């Protein structure tokens, strides 16, 4: 059975309301294929964690969250195959129970695997690529309703993972996995800005995953979250961290002190699945009532970019909950914001001030323009196609792939036209 409703609702934070005529929730891939084949315009809706109209359409939406297939582990190949609507948190529990792990997690375990990989969503760590970098095969429903599978041996694969929903509805993905491991998470407070800028590369290289949380106050970065794989060099909280003091066992929340929603801190070792995400699967993540923006800059220009943003602090602070700085390894995917170079991700969690945030984004983007900043596909930004297209030299190849897989524009929408000129 396929459930259809005339109201597609809003994203998880309530800051975007979908304009699609209906939302369908098939329970089998066959039903999904029939829906895609019969639609004039259709887009896939994941866990609703995008903040813009990326997933929206003037046609209908389809969610594959109710597909029942259990993940399938191939121990010999060290891979797992999972349905696209599965959340990272659900997969993490499944893998950990069987002694396996992913290379990284995003800050929110609530996000769907198909949606997160399609938008280049990431965690942190100098050696860690985005979540899409773990994908070795992807199966999707094409415009004619047929299933199409591309693996990392196919010439089009570099355009098939971070694809923004433009080439079909993702049904299954195959991801690299590794043996399970333990992680400790330590939090440090009041890292001097002078040290953060002078020692940024050393700070980011100091652990498996490092995040800096700041509201860009003049003197210090408020919090540094350091996630260390057990068996690698572990921090000594008593010695501090580049001049920052240990928070000890106190639970720190980056966006709102009133929220008890973070994963275990205080240096207590635990499974990767319960330490790499910032927020627990059983709680509302982050602040909840928010808007998000993020830009990626080449690590060789990171200090300059951070300094430029710091200079805008008086403009940003009235509308900002928190910013987070994370490192992401480079990759080779055509539409990856980190293609070709290790990057620093500069993230903004805004208060729910839509008018004010929209007004300040052009100024923020102008400050980051000298560093060729690329926006996160699923978050708010003001850049249009004229600004975005030159940042992606393989866009012509991606456009060709989209035209071949969707000749009638069934999966196109206003976002793709505005941002990529598709």
Q: What is the dihedral of CA 244, 245, 249, 251, to 10 degrees?
A: -50
pLDDT in tens, 259-292: 678 888 999 999 999 999 988 877 666 666 889 9
Q: Are 114 and 157 in contact (CB under 8 A)?
A: no
d(CA 383, CA 323): 20
- Reply yes or no on whether the pLDDT at 319 is more than 50: yes
pLDDT tier at 51, thresholds 50, 70, 90 = confident
**Domains present along the chain, CATH in parentheses:** 72-180 (3.30.465.10), 183-383 (3.30.70.2520)
pLDDT tier at 308, thresholds 50, 70, 90 = very high
Three-class SS state of 296: strand
Best CA proximity match to 131, nearest among 86, 182, 65: 86
pLDDT in tens, 194-215: 999 999 999 999 999 999 999 9
For residue 72, with 0-12 CB atoms within 10 Å meaning exposed, 13-18 middle and 19 or more buried, which class applies?
exposed
pLDDT in tens, 354-408: 999 999 999 999 999 999 999 999 999 999 999 999 999 999 999 999 999 999 9
pLDDT at 5: 57
Longest dimension (CA), the chain: 63
pTM, two decimal places: 0.94
- Reply yes or no on whether the pLDDT at 4 is more than 60: no
Q: What is the dihedral of CA 154, 156, 162, 168, to 10 degrees?
A: -100
Sorted by sequence, the CB contacts under 8 Å of residue 121 that are 6+ apart come out as 106, 111, 115, 130, 131, 132, 376, 378
Neighbours of 29 (CB within 10 A): 18
Q: Are 61 and 23 in contact (CB under 8 A)?
A: yes
pLDDT at 323: 96
pLDDT in tens, 99-147: 999 999 998 888 999 999 999 999 999 999 999 999 999 999 999 999 9
* Element (DSSP H or E) covering residue 399: helix 395-405
- Reply yes or no on whether the pLDDT at 3 is more than 60: no
């Amino acid at each position: 059975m396929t459930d259809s409703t005339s109201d597609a609702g809003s994203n998880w934070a309530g800051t975007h309301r979908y304009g699609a005529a209906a939302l369908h929730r098939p329970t089998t891939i066959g039903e999904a294929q029939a829906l895609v084949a019969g639609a004039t315009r259709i887009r896939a809706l994941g866990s609703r964690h995008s903040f813009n109209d990326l997933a929206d359409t003037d046609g209908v939406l389809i969610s594959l969250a109710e597909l029942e297939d259990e993940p399938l582990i191939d121990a010999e190949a060290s891979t797992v195959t999972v349905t696209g609507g599965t959340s990272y948190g659900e997969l993490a529990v499944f893998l950990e129970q069987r002694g396996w792990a992913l290379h990284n997690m995003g800050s929110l375990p609530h996000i769907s695997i198909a949606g997160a990989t399609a938008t280049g969503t990431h965690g942190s760590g100098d050696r860690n690529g985005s979540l899409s970098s773990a994908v070795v095969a992807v199966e999707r429903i094409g415009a004619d309703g047929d299933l199409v599978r591309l693996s990392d041996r196919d010439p089009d694969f570099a355009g098939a993972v971070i694809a923004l929903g433009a080439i079909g509805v993702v049904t299954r993905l195959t991801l690299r996995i590794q043996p399970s491991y333990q992680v400790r998470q330590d939090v440090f407070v009041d890292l001097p800005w002078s040290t953060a800028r002078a020692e940024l590369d050393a700070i980011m290289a100091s652990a498996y995953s490092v995040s800096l949380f700041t509201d860009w106050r003049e003197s210090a970065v408020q919090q540094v979250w350091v996630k260390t794989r057990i068996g690698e060099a572990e921090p000594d909280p008593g010695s501090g961290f580049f001049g920052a003091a240990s928070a000890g066992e106190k639970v720190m929340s980056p966006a709102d002190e009133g929220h008890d929603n973070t994963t275990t801190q205080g240096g207590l070792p635990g499974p990767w699945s319960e330490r790499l995400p910032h927020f627990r699967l059983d709680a509302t993540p982050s602040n909840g009532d928010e808007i998000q923006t993020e830009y990626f800059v080449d690590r060789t220009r990171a200090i300059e970019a951070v300094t430029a943003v710091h200079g805008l602090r008086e403009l940003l602070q009235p509308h900002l909950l928190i910013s987070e700085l994370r490192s992401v390894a480079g990759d080779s995917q055509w539409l990856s914001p980190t293609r070709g170079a290790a990057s620093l991700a500069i993230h903004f969690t805004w208060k729910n001030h839509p008018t004010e945030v929209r007004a300040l984004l052009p100024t923020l983007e102008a400050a980051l323009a000298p560093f060729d900043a690329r926006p996160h596909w699923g978050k708010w930004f003001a850049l249009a196609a004229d600004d975005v297209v030159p940042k992606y030299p393989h866009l012509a190849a991606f456009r060709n792939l989209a035209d071949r897989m969707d000749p009638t524009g069934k999966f196109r929408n206003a976002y793709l036209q505005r941002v990529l000129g598709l």
